[in-house]
Structure 1
């Protein structure tokens, strides 16, 4: 079962999503939050696999809530709930640690596909958001300091990417789950400001991590 926490300050919308999830197979609704502060608290208490996060809330905003939630547990996959796919705040949320986004009003099947994809360690970036993220990331893309920002485990994962290993091979080599590998890779891409595995592999080779 994929444990999901729903965060939105509009009760009607939140309850609608919660009702949908309560009827879905393979998904367990573990909580509802109406604010960023409550989302952070419930994430610590309920340990969800996925957090569906609205961004525009009073008090602690969604972007900062995402930063705190993923800081507490990098394995938590955050999916942004948004009205506009190219909203600037969505880009900020991705850079804060969100794994993707779903437009409010999307079909039930689209929401469930997103939940299961992110739970598997995948990232969901449409062209509009990906383009903005990459353009902003271009500044400082080659900085050696970016490599230094990686954790020891992220450096291991990056080195194995440089050797051409796939996620399931990395998971087997490091004795961790594929989902955890996917979360590490998302963090690596964000810190190194790269768009795909090929660019990450080049960075690994430049840093001598692929040996």
Structure 2
């Protein structure tokens, strides 16, 4: 029986390249492709694939909410995340959101098959430092911070990125579907975790540390 896959990436050339690669492997079948979060979730809901390969950045939005939704609502579909970022500051939030694998786009043609095969065997596929932190969490130990961002939750990283883009509290609230008060609470928690004293320092930190938007 073929292992089925859904590909979610906002760059058609990336999706087609991955589809061509995966179709060349006996036993793998790409059943759907999507270019945004909504269509990606619809594809998973319709096809219930074994694997969903999801780009961490879909347009200007982190795909953490999509990863979380799939992990909780469709637990038989394993998520492998692909990203232009290789460091643990981005891989770890993806893991905490529910992804079981993480591959750098720079090496995707060489590593995506290993990642998918590993995840299908029930073995997570992450950078070593992320694996170590996840193991510490499973043992009830404090995770070793790999960067200051490692202390933040996936939602906090998403909000921090939008702060760096210059979005107002109300604009962030509208984008994530929460109240302005909730956004303010997140901002307060982010400042506390990062040791920042005011919003100016928060904006500066985001600009220096969270330049996530891919070059198009």
TM-score (norm 2): 0.58
Residue 47 of structure 2 corresponds to: 46
Secondary structure in 2 matching 1:106:
helix
Residue 126 of structure 1 and its aligned partner are, at CA, apart by: 1.8
Cα deviation, residue 28, structure 1? 0.4
Matches within 5 A, 1:1-211: 1-58=2-59, 61-106=62-107, 108-131=109-132, 133=134, 137=137, 141=141
8 Å contact kept, 1:4–1:49: yes
Output the TM-score relative to the length of structure 1: 0.60
Q: What is the CA RMSD across the aligned residues, in angstroms?
A: 2.4
Cα offsets for 1:74-123 (capped at 9, x unmatched): 12111110122215232111001100111113264522121122112111
Alpha-carbon shift at residue 21 of structure 1 (Å): 1.2
8 Å CA contact 2:88, 2:129 repeated in 1: no
Q: Which runs of 5+ in 2 are unaligned?
A: 143-216
Secondary structure in structure 2 of the residue aligned to 1:69: helix
Number of equivalences: 141
Q: Is the 8 A contact 1:3 1:50 kept in 2?
A: yes
